[in-house]
Amino acid sequence: MGIERGTELIRLERNGPAVTCRLRSGDGTEETVDARYVVGCDGAHSTVRAQAGIGFEGYAYPQTFLLADLEVDGLEPGAVHTYMTGSGMVFFPLGSPATWRMLAMRPPGAPDTEVKLGLLQKITDEYTPDRLVLRDPVCMTDFRLHNRGAAHYRSGPCFLAGDAAHIHSPAGAQGMNTGIQDALNLGWKLALVCSGRAPAELLDTYEIERAPVGRSVLRFTDRAFTIGTSRNPLIRLARTRLAPRLAPLALRATGPRGRVFRTVSELGIHYRRSPASTAGSRPPRKGPQAGDRLPDLPRGLQARSAGPGWHLLVSGPPALWPDERLASLLPGRHDLISVHRLGGESPWPDPVQGLVRPDGYLGYVARGAHLEGLRAYLERWLPAQHG
């Protein structure tokens, strides 16, 4: 079964441990589908969230934003143009259905009526000394931003991911990123549970791991939005005078840009308090810990740990890791785990065993070659399949 575009979920009903879904296709025909699990990736107005009875708590910001897809004469093509004057204004190179997407805050005092080209041109004239001419709008609209999070990411067989679970201001550009992380976190767990390879309790770790990330994104974007829209004279000065001078310098310097981008985009995400990320009795003294994301590591290691499935990384003298010792872990799960012996690229100074989950996070890590802790982890989350 693939993606069915144009099909709408109109009703959900709990049916014992499963869910009965009423679907309506584009031509109006309806059908009923019984599902073991349903994931609501259906955006801010999520039907799944509403029908599963999950609250969506938070508030709307008072500001209104104007958005238009249109043509602009006078802008250098192919680049984002940000104007920090006034309440701020951005032109994104869209391409289709219009060359530009304009985004601006409705200026204080501007009438709260239908968005017209005249208002957008007036804002543009005020905010930039460049002579920009706006024309041929394909769409013009306004919207308000919210800061809201789902009270739970799961209710029985129903899960929420993406904007269905959290919405916030685009300051920091984290909405889509966070939603993709949700889906990545849930996807491998559902795949293992539905194929009978992992216990159903693995799905409980979805909310444990992702809800704190959602909350931290709501806090982060709220701070960024408050600074970005503040009318405090000092903050305005920093925003309109300092930021335009410093931002291009920061963006030109590739090193800092990488660091800034990583810091913002990952917001220090880790799952160190999750039962699906545990350390052995002797955790590493340095280097990544259980719950940290492995692809942050040097390139060679990234390449080895990337891809679906689990990856067992071992480091230290080869004598510590004879083939038979490692092979003893694999019966009944060899199709899901690949083993990698690390040399100088190991991020741990000591001999270490680390099990990387399919989403790239360290599920288990311990110093030394005793395998009891790792065996217990595997028995819990990836029990051996025999026969």
Residues within the interface to ligand FAD (CB under 6 A): 8-9, 41-43, 47, 103, 162-163, 170, 173-177, 179
Q: Minimal distance in Å, beta carbon 122 to ligand FAD?
A: 21
Phi first, then psi: give them for residue 73, nearest 5 degrees.
-90, 130
Q: What's the CA gap between 266 and 323, in Å, rounded?
A: 36
Which residue's beta carbon is nearest to the bound ligand FAD? 162
Sign of CA dihedral 246, 251, 256, 262: positive
- In the complex with ligand FAD, the residue whose CB is nearer, 150 or 313, is 150
- In the complex with ligand FAD, the residue whose CB is nearer, 26 or 256, is 26
Q: List strand residue ranges (DSSP E) for the chain, in order.
A: 8-15, 18-24, 30-35, 38-40, 56-73, 81-83, 89-93, 100-105, 133-150, 154-155, 158-160, 166-167, 278-279, 310-315, 337-342, 352-356, 362-367
Q: Minimal distance in Å, beta carbon 28 to ligand FAD?
A: 14
Residues facing 293 on adjacent strands: 361
- In the complex with ligand FAD, the residue whose CB is nearer, 2 or 343, is 2
142 neighbors 66 (Cβ within 8 angstroms)? yes
- In the complex with ligand FAD, the residue whose CB is nearer, 7 or 338, is 7
- In the complex with ligand FAD, the residue whose CB is nearer, 161 or 329, is 161
- In the complex with ligand FAD, the residue whose CB is nearer, 260 or 384, is 260
The label of the residue with tokens 């216990």 reads 199
Q: Minimal distance in Å, beta carbon 296 to ligand FAD?
A: 19
Phi first, then psi: give them for residue 250, nearest 5 degrees.
-65, -40
Query: H or E element: which one contains 260?
Result: helix 254-266
User: What is residue 274's three-state secondary structure?
Assistant: coil
Task: Name the nearest CA neighbour of 242 among 255, 254, 227.
Answer: 227
Q: Minimal distance in Å, beta carbon 362 to ligand FAD?
A: 25
- In the complex with ligand FAD, the residue whose CB is nearer, 175 or 363, is 175
Q: Minimal distance in Å, beta carbon 19 to ligand FAD?
A: 14
Q: Minimal distance in Å, beta carbon 42 to ligand FAD?
A: 4
- In the complex with ligand FAD, the residue whose CB is nearer, 63 or 338, is 63
Task: Name the nearest CA neighbour of 276 among 182, 380, 369.
Answer: 380
Phi first, then psi: give them for residue 163, nearest 5 degrees.
-60, -20
User: What is residue 4's three-state secondary structure?
Assistant: coil
- In the complex with ligand FAD, the residue whose CB is nearer, 90 or 337, is 90
Token pair of 204 as six digits: 């409980």
Q: Minimal distance in Å, beta carbon 181 to ligand FAD?
A: 10
Q: Minimal distance in Å, beta carbon 33 to ligand FAD?
A: 12
The label of the residue with tokens 């304009």 reads 102
Q: Minimal distance in Å, beta carbon 267 to ligand FAD?
A: 12
